[in-house]
Chains A and B, each alone.
Chain A
Amino acid sequence: MLRFILQRTFIMVLTMLALSLVVFTLVNLEPNLRKLALEQNNNRMSQEAVDSWLDKNGYRRPFVVQYGEWLGGVLTGDLGYSTRFRMPVNEVLPKRLGYTGILAFWVLVTMVPSALLIGILSGMREGTALDRILSIFSVATTATPEYVSGILFTVIFASMLGWFKGVSNVNNITFENFTLPVMTMSIYGMGYIARMTRASMSEVMTSQYVRTAHLKGLPFRSVVLKHALRNALIAPFTVILLQFPWLLTGVVIVEKIFNYKGFGWALVEAAENNDIHLLLACSLVSVVVVIGTQLISDVGYAYLNPRIRVES
């Protein structure tokens, strides 16, 4: 078990290194550096002024030196300086991550239980009217990306009905202004998880051990609760955790639509202004989140599935 976690951590570090190299190369491309220079000074700067500014600030040193410097900083816990926010990345990032954490928390709390419920109800008795309705709902939500549903919800619930606000504020989170972003994100993810749960549930319901349970004379309720459910949840469990990379993109879109200044918003700001260190830090965070959830998903899968667990 420990060996496995170590192995995964090693892969994670390797991935982070490879990705930071790629990102580093891309942000240090000449056009991107020029963009940075213009953004940091003024847009009408001459070519010579750009060159001298870049020289002065050390962007013209050899790639290896710059990368080594950044890597050294990261290893000692210093993520560098954000040119966009004009303060150390270490001060920008935790705050923004915290805001996004609140958002992600509510998304997961609303999305996961409803998705599982929908999936189980429709997979339990395949082909019924309830199953068909829920399935159509699931397909429709997976087909509607956040930048569509978010805007449609704003039109309906903010512009027309006036129930909620179409803009969120990180400093003043209320039911009124926080519902739409949470709803937008959780509904898009819900369909996918529900479909996976349904597929898994309906497969389990036709399995031979569920037949055994029926033919033992158990009531339908306990067949579902004691025999089907646990086996049916193994597959969606991994799906939910593998949703995290998607959740990150979703966060970026939703934060932009609702002007919620969290991690996603910071990421867009960094990218649009070629804020090298902030962008690198954001990428690293993303990789940690993605691979970390993969790890949890594998461990959890093994925990749920005794066929793997007990063989140690």
Chain B
Amino acid sequence: METINFWELWGGVAYRFWPVWVGMAITYLLMRANRKHIGVFGHLLDSPVGVTGLMIVLFWLFTAVFADVVATFDPLEQFYRHRRKPPGMVELESMIPMYFGSDNLGRDLFSRMVYGSRFVLLIAPSATLVAFIVGITLGLPAGYKGGRTDSILSFIANMILSFPVIVLFYLLVTPGIRETALPNVMASVFFMFPIVFALTVLRSRFSERPGLLFPWSVIILILGGWLYSGVVFNSDPLGLISMDPNELNIFAAVVFASSPGVFRIVRGLTMDIKTRDYVAAAQTRGETPWYIMLWEILPNARGPLIVDACLRIGYTTILLGTLGFFGLGLAPESPDWGSMINQTRGFIRLVPTIVLPQTIALASFVLGLNLLADGLREESLKD
């Protein structure tokens, strides 16, 4: 068996990531140059903790983008002769080293780890975004109006929150569920929120100016409807947008599980901000409740919400890992970090290193997000 030494291994790995390094450097330099114009992200560059977090997150972001360039093998290709090999072993046909070794089916762990970032970076941020829109759309009126709206919405949110996540996923993310219409129904409800949200934002601001309101509403409806039909019903007339049924299933379940948390935060922030005089000023000039919620309150809640979004993307990553770990919802060969951990953990005794790439990848990404959130919080408090 041919192997490469320690320096060749890490040198090689560092070299494979070259597009990632370039991407990180360009982003950092761009941020430095425009630090005055990017608000709290500009201040972030003053905080070592924040910069560290940002760099880790950017690392995985660019890895996901350039996975095709970075990876050395097809993540699904099985080399029967090289099963459960330690790091640094060279695949004999192509003479390409399997930097991090191979798994129990002889697949290259390095390439699987690199491709695994794609799944996480596709689902976690977008599911969090949708969860935020759902949470904001419901949390604003609950906090602003109070009363019955608040009682009902809070009861539902607390109910979902008091349900152990794992039971929820065992019930919602199964092949059986996918045979029913449930995931599509859930997704169709959740994806309705962004469209409704965008229309409300427009309408509340420009109700006095129909010349702006009308064309923009049409644009949103067309764009939103197109995305909606593609993502939810897999029936994009142009055939550009589509989503795997099992990914849609996971997506809907993750949004369902994390929007109550967003709801609670938005509700609390709204209750705090609505006591400010500028809200009273808006009321005394006769603004509609939705204008006040969306244009007076929401912009001032953005600081804590951005911080929470970072933490929540991290939490969603952990959640996705949990799904993979329990073998829920994803194809068995899927190169996501959670499934990889689950598939390799039985072989720790034989090859202890077999679990390291995916576990460290997952933990480092979440750590990066947490550090980023810490940095953002620290810097936004300093002003």
| A interface, CB within 8 angstroms of B | 11, 14-15, 18-19, 23, 26-27, 29-32, 34-35, 139-140, 142-145, 147-149, 151-152, 154-155, 158-160, 166, 245, 248-249, 252-253, 256-257, 267-268, 271-272, 279, 282-283, 286-287, 290-291, 294
Contact = CB atoms under 8 A, between A and B. Distances in A.
A291 B318 CA distance: 24
Given A147-B338, A158-B348, 5 more contacts: A11-B155, A29-B180, A152-B356, A166-B348, A253-B325
A14 B172 CA distance: 22
Contacts of B161: 245
B321 interface: yes
A257 B325 CA distance: 10
Contacts of A147: 321-322, 325, 338, 341-342
Nearest to B377: A199
B213 to A, nearest CB: 40
A291 B160 CA distance: 12
From DSSP, what is the main secondary structure of chain A's interface residues? Answer: helix
Given A140-B367, A271-B171, A286-B167, A145 B162 contact: no
Nearest to A139: B370
Contacts of A159: 348-349, 352
A145 B180 CA distance: 32
21 contacts: A11-B158, A15-B158, A23-B171, A26-B172, A26-B177, A27-B171, A143-B370, A145-B363, A145-B366, A147-B338, A151-B345, A154-B348, A256-B326, A267-B167, A268-B170, A271-B167, A271-B170, A272-B170, A279-B167, A291-B162, A294-B162
B165 interface: yes
Given A26-B171, A145-B321, A148-B341, A283 B163 contact: yes
Contacts of B345: 151, 257
Contacts of B159: 15, 18-19
B211 interface: no
Interface in B149-204: 155, 158-159, 161-167, 170-172, 174-177, 179-180, 182
Interface of B: 155, 158-159, 161-167, 170-172, 174-177, 179-180, 182, 314, 318, 321-322, 325-326, 338, 341-342, 345, 348-349, 352, 355-356, 359, 362-364, 366-367, 369-371, 374
A271 B172 CA distance: 11
A139 B366 CA distance: 10
A287 B163 contact: yes
A272 B228 CA distance: 32
A248 to B, nearest CB: 4
A21 to B, nearest CB: 11
B176 A248 contact: no
Of residues B338, B348, B374, which shows the largest number of chain A Cβ atoms within 10 Å of its Cβ? B348
B164 A286 contact: yes
Contact of B175 (A31, A253, A271): A31
B318 A145 contact: yes
Contacts of B369: 143
B322 A249 contact: yes
A253 B176 contact: no
Nearest to A152: B359
Given A147-B322, A148-B359, A29 B162 contact: no
